[in-house]
Chains A and B, each alone.
Chain A
Amino acid sequence: MAEFTSDPVGKSVPRIDIYEKVTGSATFADDMQFGPGLYYGRLVRSPHAHALIRHIDATRALQLPGVKAIVTGADVPKNIGLYLIDRPIFARERARYVGEPVAGVVAISEEISHQAAQLIQVEYEELPAVFDPVEATRPGAPLLHPDLGAYKVANFIFPEPGSNISEHFKLRRGNVDTAWAQCAAIVEGTFRLPQIQHVPIEPHVAVSLWEASGQVTLWTCSQSPFAQRDLIAQSLDIPHGNLRVVSPYVGGGFGGKAGVSMEVCAVSMARAVKGHPVKLRMTREEEFIGTTVRQSLVAHTKIGCDSAGNLLAMETQYYFGGGAYNDYGVNIARAAGYSCTGPYLIPNVKGDSYCVYTNQPIGSAMRGFGMPEIHWGIEQIMDQLAEEIGMDPADFRRRNCVKSGQSILTGMQMPPIDLVACIDKATEAIDWGKRELASAPHKRRGKGIAVMWKAPAMPPNPGSAAIVRFNEDATVNVSIGAQDLGQGAFTVVAQMAAQALGVPYEWVRVSVPVDTKYSPYEWQTVASRITWSTGNAVKAAAEDARRQILEIVAGHWGENPQDLEIKDGVVFSYRTEEELPLKGMVIYGLPNENFEGWKGGPIVGQGRFMPTYVTNLDFETGQGTRAVVHYTVGAQAIDLEVDTETGEVTVLRIASVYDVGKAINPDLILTQIEGGAVHGMSSAFEALHYDRQGRPLNPNLVDYRIAAATDIPLEIHGDFVETPLEDGPWGARGVGEHVMVPTAPAMANAIYDALGIRFSDLPLSAEKVFRALQEKQEG
């Protein structure tokens, strides 16, 4: 390991957090100690998917020794929500999914809180429920939110009151009706994806303390400490300055620890027992049903091309099963709407993307934010079109994929990217076009490809701020409000700060935990936006500090700051070759001649970044000047085999290539690609299952399997392309989420190559594959 890394941007320096994490000393929320005054919370959850709450009787629970408080919806009258404020903190009058919090118990031990929860009697009147998003849009479907029209909503989200539609995004470009006639091939299909869960290995934990003075603290594993502060402050009427959210290391997020889920329950329960911290920790079962899940999707998609293989028209309806409430849900449907074509240039598009209430757990952000869902269908249809006109699927994508400078579906000009280069590298890595033998006579081998795009999906103006402070020995503390969920954000910002300051990487520390009381503002650690957005803020803060230093030293030497540079922690002059180490001067300044006074002082740099150029889109057409900040694009090629006797799919090789703009830390990108490829592969086999009453059947890690060490592909070939992003730090753009988007459709295309069978619905369970093989043989 290098001990002194100059100019670290572009180098694979070790993770800044790795020593703590391999020694078990990294603090996670559950590891924090709160002393003997700590109380324990437990949530009482609805056993019904849809029911009116007639009466809650907590008498017996309150009589149990050690029970300190019971909180219900009556105690928390306001709703909470990110874009559409639709969710009660505890159900009021109506419960809308199995697992919805109806009451919260606070007790002196975890055990007593569990006992008390069982003593709370809730009288329900069951209502008809709806689980399928398409059914939920039909007239006469059970209505989940009769008050939808009264909810506060962001100005770019369009619910349809009187229905279960919480968002409808419309994309209209060209004229699809006249374009179909010019198509030589048209493929149409319906594609379904079930709800799946993030399954971070660390379950959600929140501890909250409400002091008599009105100061409120929430310690939790959070991707969004500032957004949580904002939303919880609003829903519980706490002045923002009085609410402090502290987030130590996060044990995996994938979107599930963004926004607000159970944390607000912990704060409401702490209010009932002022002066005592209250700890609420999700069991694994609660993690599945009581936090958030990825939304389900039903997609009806039709795409056509001419005989030369040029895409001409696309019509699509996306029905996202949003679950009972919206956290990010409405904005996922919006993002799926304005990116509805996938990374293709199609002149005529009619897209409708809906977020629909269903009586299921809350659908929300998960790695890829709508993109894994829509690419599942799009990428299979592209293969079918290529086959119909007799073109290689990779060539079909090279021809039609979006290119820099093109006017894309929203009318926005595509920022610089090179998807063709990604396709070239990915196909080459798995010997595309070369037929290869399966490992046994009863196995069939196939190759498939899928491409992807994804833009950070967020409000137009999410901001980042950073502070860079020097210590006496010229080591540096970087403070940011962004979080490291494992993706390596702290390492990358340390590299950027070191590079911009001219100090070695090893001199930089990143302040942990993120604490809204002391850390500068960050909108949220989501959307693969930290390298880009927080990176820009950190770069600006470091440049601010550097400017201060150079001004002081230039004054000291009687030189022009422009002639000075900082390298390896030493200021030097290009003109006079004079040198001065940063050590000491960055705090104490420099003495004037003969010690007649001093100049300078402690160096603190500050920086911020906020995109200022994103515009609104027309409600009827989805057209506008700049829909999003940028897109990251990429391609995956997969080589797999299918066991025809069991239906089991074994992925042999995944080649995965993304245009990252600039690889700030190349090895960290490869670790994202590897982890994302396995996450994507695993997601193709995952599904939450429910019975007819909407009760979850597999909320545990035995019945809901995620990929284990024995399931991974033999080879994961990660690579990247570097087409600089105009406003990215050193040209960098994000890549953390993108790496799982194309995996499932690339697998489906490879399975088709192996078996000649298409699967329009996930999961790709062995049973489903086996049955399809049987049907094919019989047919």
Chain B
Amino acid sequence: MTHHTITVTINGARERLDVPSNMTLLQMLRDKLALTGTKNGCEAGECGACTVLVNGEPVNSCMMLAVEADGCEILTVEGLAPEGRLSPLQQAFVEHNAVQCGFCTPGMLMSAHALLQRNPRPTEEQIKQALVGNLCRCTGYVRIIRAVQAAAEEGGA
């Protein structure tokens, strides 16, 4: 398998990495960098558990090759609270009990984070639309939507 050297900025830190052609961004994050906060739920772009931000846009990291991320800025769930201080969105998830099993949570947070970055005051419908690619089987989405609304009211992501 051909390998490529890529340069990416992950959660603010620049990394030079040697990746095989067929490695997905998800595999790179989880297997190469042990950033296991990003979850693998289907490897087919269907569940959203692996959502990360690439240059600010939410992406299913299972559907993107690592080499495609060359030169990109990547934000994962680990980057939301770099000093251990929860972001307003994470804090809102805590306050609204927007988590049950927690497996969809990282992807959910990343999609919501991207939404609030581009639209600081989304409507309920816009929140639902932004999260439509992130499946959750536990919560019924009610608290997640409420938490995103609350974070927006508190002033953003």
A495 surroundings in chain B (CB, below 8 A): none
What size tier do the contact residues of chain B reach?
Answer: 35 or more
Across the interface, do B135 and A283 meet the contact criterion of CB distance under 8 Å? no
Give the docked Cα–Cα distance between A14 and B95 (Å).
7
Across the interface, do B145 and A201 meet the contact criterion of CB distance under 8 Å? no
- In chain A, residues 635-689, which have Cβ atoms closer than 8 Å to a Cβ of chain B? 667-668, 671, 674-679
- In chain A, residues 1-48, which have Cβ atoms closer than 8 Å to a Cβ of chain B? 1, 14-15, 17-28, 30-31, 33
A20 surroundings in chain B (CB, below 8 A): 102
Across the interface, do A251 and B144 meet the contact criterion of CB distance under 8 Å? no
Across the interface, do B139 and A23 meet the contact criterion of CB distance under 8 Å? no
Give the docked Cα–Cα distance between A30 and B42 (Å).
13
Across the interface, do B34 and A202 meet the contact criterion of CB distance under 8 Å? no
B139 surroundings in chain A (CB, below 8 A): 671, 674-675, 678
Across the interface, do B138 and A18 meet the contact criterion of CB distance under 8 Å? no
Give the docked Cα–Cα distance between A20 and B135 (Å).
20
Q: Is A415 an interface position by the 8 A CB rule?
A: no
Q: Is B100 an interface position by the 8 A CB rule?
A: yes
Across the interface, do A251 and B99 meet the contact criterion of CB distance under 8 Å? no
A712 to B: closest C-beta gap in Å: 5
Q: How many A-B residue pairs have CB under 8 A?
A: 176
Task: Render A679-722 as a binary contact track against B, CB cut-off 8 A, 1 for contact.
Answer: 10000000000000000000011100011111010001000000
Task: Render B43-54 as a binary contact track against A, CB cut-off 8 A, 1 for contact.
Answer: 110110100000
CB-CB nearest in chain A for B105: A21
Give the docked Cα–Cα distance between A702 and B135 (Å).
11
Q: Is A250 an interface position by the 8 A CB rule?
A: yes
B105 surroundings in chain A (CB, below 8 A): 21-22, 24
A679 to B: closest C-beta gap in Å: 7
Give the docked Cα–Cα distance between A249 and B142 (Å).
22
For A671, give its contact among B97, B132, B145 (CB under 8 Å): B97
In this complex, the member of B47, B49, B133 whose beta carbon has the largest number of chain A beta carbons within 10 angstroms is B47
Across the interface, do B86 and A199 meet the contact criterion of CB distance under 8 Å? no
Across the interface, do A716 and B137 meet the contact criterion of CB distance under 8 Å? no
Across the interface, do A677 and B140 meet the contact criterion of CB distance under 8 Å? yes
A485 surroundings in chain B (CB, below 8 A): 100-101
For B94, give its contact among A1, A251, A486, A710 (CB under 8 Å): A1
- In chain B, residues 109-157, which have Cβ atoms closer than 8 Å to a Cβ of chain A? 109, 127-129, 131-145
Across the interface, do B100 and A671 meet the contact criterion of CB distance under 8 Å? yes
CB-CB nearest in chain B for A28: B103
Give the docked Cα–Cα distance between A31 and B143 (Å).
26
In this complex, the member of A28, A30, A33, A251 whose beta carbon has the largest number of chain B beta carbons within 10 angstroms is A251
Give the docked Cα–Cα distance between A201 and B43 (Å).
12
Q: Is A203 an interface position by the 8 A CB rule?
A: yes
Across the interface, do A700 and B37 meet the contact criterion of CB distance under 8 Å? no
CB-CB nearest in chain A for B127: A709
Task: Render B63-107 as a binary contact track against A, CB cut-off 8 A, 1 for contact.
Answer: 000000000000011101100101000100111010111111110
B42 surroundings in chain A (CB, below 8 A): 203, 283-284, 700-701
Extra contacts, 4 of them, besides A26-B102, A199-B135, A488-B100 (Cβ < 8 A), are: A201-B101, A254-B137, A284-B47, A678-B142
B residues contacting A by CB (< 8 A) are 30, 34-44, 46-47, 49, 76-78, 80-81, 84, 86, 90, 93-95, 97, 99-106, 109, 127-129, 131-145
Q: List 24 A-B contacts (CB under 8 A).
A: A14-B94, A20-B102, A22-B81, A22-B86, A22-B93, A23-B37, A24-B77, A24-B105, A27-B36, A200-B101, A201-B39, A284-B41, A284-B44, A671-B139, A674-B142, A674-B143, A675-B139, A700-B46, A706-B137, A708-B133, A708-B141, A709-B144, A710-B132, A716-B140
